[in-house]
Amino acid sequence: MLTKLGARVSLVRRPEELAVIDGLVIPGGESSVMDKLARTFGLQAPLEEAIASGMPVYGTCAGLIMLADTLLDAIDGQQSLGGLDVVVRRNAFGSQNQSFETDLDIPALGEVPVHAVFIRGPVVESVGPAATPLASLADGRVVAVEQGNLVGTSFHPEITGEYRFHEYFLGMVRAA
């Protein structure tokens, strides 16, 4: 998605790779494994420092979990990187076969609704004063949030070709 929008994309697996980028996307996947790998490869502290120093970061699904200050339903020992003043519940929408799609009104991205795909996604249980909700489900559960140069979504916009969140993120990168 980022390449299609004109960005140069590099994979980050080690601290030295993090040092040469202008923004970071933490993708979907398994947040507990991402946490373990970040600690194993010495990326946790550099990631926390990059976030604290204002590097733009976009977290989708597991990436949102990684950016949350507080986790609910984490596995034993699981840590997040923090940065988003939110409480996030892992796997809030149930198992894989309970995945769903819906349209969301997100004024920050324009008038056309965003078609969102939720796959075992997290939900933002509460939003602290430093963070701003960007989107909620019809029942009021928050599924997109931002704070400074951080943005997180419970869903995967790239699955449906929805580019506006990535474009929004690239605007943050350019501004930084």
What pLDDT is recorded for position 27?
A: 93
Q: Is residue 18 part of a domain?
A: no
Q: Is residue 1 part of a domain?
A: no
Q: Is residue 61 part of a domain?
A: yes
Locate all alpha helices (DSSP H) within the chain, ordered by sequence.
Answer: 15-18, 31-40, 44-52, 62-67, 164-175
What pLDDT is recorded for position 61?
A: 93
pLDDT digits (tens, 9 = 90+) for 90-109: 988 766 767 788 999 999 99
- Catalytic residue IDs: 61, 156, 158
Give me the domain span that covers residue 138: 23-175
- How many domains does one find in the chain? 1
What H or E segment, with its residue span, contains residue 124? Answer: strand 123-127
Q: What is the CATH number of the domain that holds 27?
A: 3.40.50.880
Q: Quote the CA–CA distance of 126 and 76 in Å, as a whole number.
A: 22
What pLDDT is recorded for position 123?
A: 94
What pLDDT is recorded for position 116?
A: 93
Q: Is residue 13 part of a domain?
A: no
pLDDT digits (tens, 9 = 90+) for 112-129: 999 998 888 899 999 999
Q: Is residue 147 part of a domain?
A: yes
What pLDDT is recorded for position 91?
A: 83
What pLDDT is recorded for position 99?
A: 79
Sign of the dihedral through C-alpha 126, 138, 73, 29: negative
Q: Is residue 3 part of a domain?
A: no
Q: Exposure of 64 by Cβ count < 10 A (0-12 exposed, 13-18 middle, 19+ buried)?
A: buried
What pLDDT is recorded for position 111?
A: 95
Q: Calculate the dihedral angle through the C-alpha atoms of 162, 151, 154, 49, rounding to the nearest 10 degrees.
A: 130
What pLDDT is recorded for position 121?
A: 87
Q: Pick left, alpha or beta for residue 140 (phi over 0 → left; psi -120 to 50 → alpha; otherwise beta).
A: left
What pLDDT is recorded for position 100?
A: 85
Q: Is residue 8 part of a domain?
A: no
Q: In whole angstroms, what separates CA 72 from the centre of its chain?
A: 16
Which stretches in the chain have pLDDT values below 70?
A: 94-95, 97
Q: Quote the CA–CA distance of 149 and 131 in Å, as a whole number.
A: 11
What pLDDT is recorded for position 46?
A: 97
| Residue 137 structure tokens | 């489900």
Q: Helix (H, G, I), strand (E, B), or coil: what is residue 136?
A: strand
Q: Is residue 11 part of a domain?
A: no
